[in-house]
Structure 1
């Protein structure tokens, strides 16, 4: 177990703090939301709720995951009955994606739990600090190509 001095040394590194914050997020997610639905799957449900009929590539771009990862994610969510895919009427090499009724129900059930994760993770921050944290974390990410 690390001692306080090690903890202070590691806190000088942004990557170490981001990793530890992510570990905390995963632990809180598992406790409060689901062991079956990952935060990336939840994000996919939200994207498909907001923009039904996006293709697999667009969903991957929105979630910032690569082609093989989005293909696996979509296949798993189709198998679990959360989303359905059909041929893209514009590009026959592509699929368009929609929430199933079960996916819509799952999204509605998960939303309050996801809000609880947010509340737990940011409990020691003011509203202004929460906004600043999100702004700063977004600044660490590379610009997305449009």
Structure 2
């Protein structure tokens, strides 16, 4: 049986194990530096809606790479919390378009420097080139999007 110090080394050869551990670290740093109320996915939604106000729920879900039920729950929660508002899509009456509320814009402005601090903390032991390479490699693990 491997000793306690050998176990992480043995698991280090598995990409999935490293990605999971990195995600756990991200969540812990997020909770300590950013917010226990706003998740990183909610923050990403705020950023997208700042950049592209009026996208519909499906487009937001596609941008976030989440399924229909997840985006519906996410949007409902963010509407309930006063961060975004939805209105009928003028082109397709069966869907909604989404916008940041004043509170959502304020929250985004407050959170952005904290999110940048999370990035700094997570990549503190990497050079700028290594950070860029890490993001490139992680993106390469994801399936291609059918835009």
Normalised by the length of structure 2, the TM-score is: 0.98
**Superposition misfits of 4+ residues, deviation over 2 angstroms:** none
Give the aligned partner of residue 54 of structure 1.
Answer: 55
Alignment correspondent of 2:41: 40
Give the 5 Å matches for 1:1-80.
Answer: 3-80=4-81
How many residue pairs match? The answer is 145
In the alignment, the residues of structure 2 paired with residue 117 and residue 20 of structure 1 have an alpha-carbon distance, to the nearest angstrom, of 16
Could you tell me which runs of 5 or more consecutive residues in structure 2 were left unpaired when the two chains were aligned: none
- 1:112-139 deviation digits (Å, cap 9, x = unpaired): 0000000000000000000000000000
Instruction: State the match for 1:108 in structure 2.
Output: 109
1:58 CA drift (Å): 0.0
Report deviation, 1:98: 0.1
Note the C-alpha offset of 1:4.
Answer: 1.3
Partner-residue secondary structure (3-state), 2:85: strand
SS at match of 1:97: strand
The gaps in structure 1 that reach 5 residues or longer are none
User: Normalised by the size of structure 1, how large is the TM-score?
Assistant: 0.98
Root-mean-square deviation (CA, aligned residues, Å) is 0.6
- Classify the secondary structure of the residue corresponding to 1:110: helix
